[in-house]
Amino acid sequence: MFSASPQKTKKIGEIFAKNCLKIKRKKGALVLGLKGTLGGGKTTFLQGFAKGFGIKDRILSPTFVILKKFSIPKSKNQRFPNFYHIDCYRVSSLKEISSLGFKQIISSTQNIVAIEWAERILKILPKDTLFLKFCFVGPKKRKISCGIIKNKANQSLITNIFKELALRAF
């Protein structure tokens, strides 16, 4: 899918979030792995993603902070109280991530976890991580794509999201 502006990328993020809230996790957190080039729009997407959860705080590109936890307001959903934004750009070893309680975070069904530069910590990501790739196409144009999805729940999540996006004629 293509986005022609930061606003559109945010809107796509918002639609993703709303659909994520409908999911019921049987095991572990819902983990989104964001890959792609510098300035591809990962953080921009997550700004819309957080908005979709009703989170009012600003989502920033963490310069020194690797992990930030946000509370998802109860009024928006009953299943996921927490949203974690993790940015692995500056992560130099898996230990660094492990020491932040990463295992616990991804093992709770109450958490939604979005990880920028997920390719840096592939080894410790859950098998059913949903990967999104952000590519720079032109000054304002980005391509957002997902790879092959083997997991049934993720497959239906993506199908629903794409249906909704198609209706909006992006």
Ligand X SMILES: Nc1ncnc2c1ncn2[C@@H]1O[C@H](COP(=O)(O)OP(=O)(O)OP(=O)(O)O)[C@@H](O)[C@H]1O
CB 47 within 8 A of CB 10: yes
Closest distance of CB 83 from Mg ion, Å: 16
The nearer residue to Mg ion, 34 or 112, going by C-beta atoms, is 34
Closest distance of CB 54 from ligand X, Å: 21
The nearer residue to ligand X, 23 or 45, going by C-beta atoms, is 45
The nearer residue to ligand X, 13 or 77, going by C-beta atoms, is 13
Closest distance of CB 78 from ligand X, Å: 30
Mask 51-70, x = binds ligand X (CB under 6 A)?
A: ----------x---------
Write out the binding residues for ligand X, residues 10-49 only, by CB under 6 A: 38-44
18 forms part of the interface with Mg ion (CB under 5 A) = no
Q: What is the arrangement of strands in the sheet containing 30-36, beginning at the earlier edge strand?
A: 2-3, 142-146, 130-136, 30-36, 111-116, 82-87, 67-71
Closest distance of CB 123 from ligand X, Å: 20
Contact pick of 3, 43, 129, 154 for Mg ion (by CB under 5 A): 43
Where along the sequence are the contacts to ligand X (CB under 6 A)?
3-6, 8-9, 38-44, 61, 89, 116, 134, 140-142
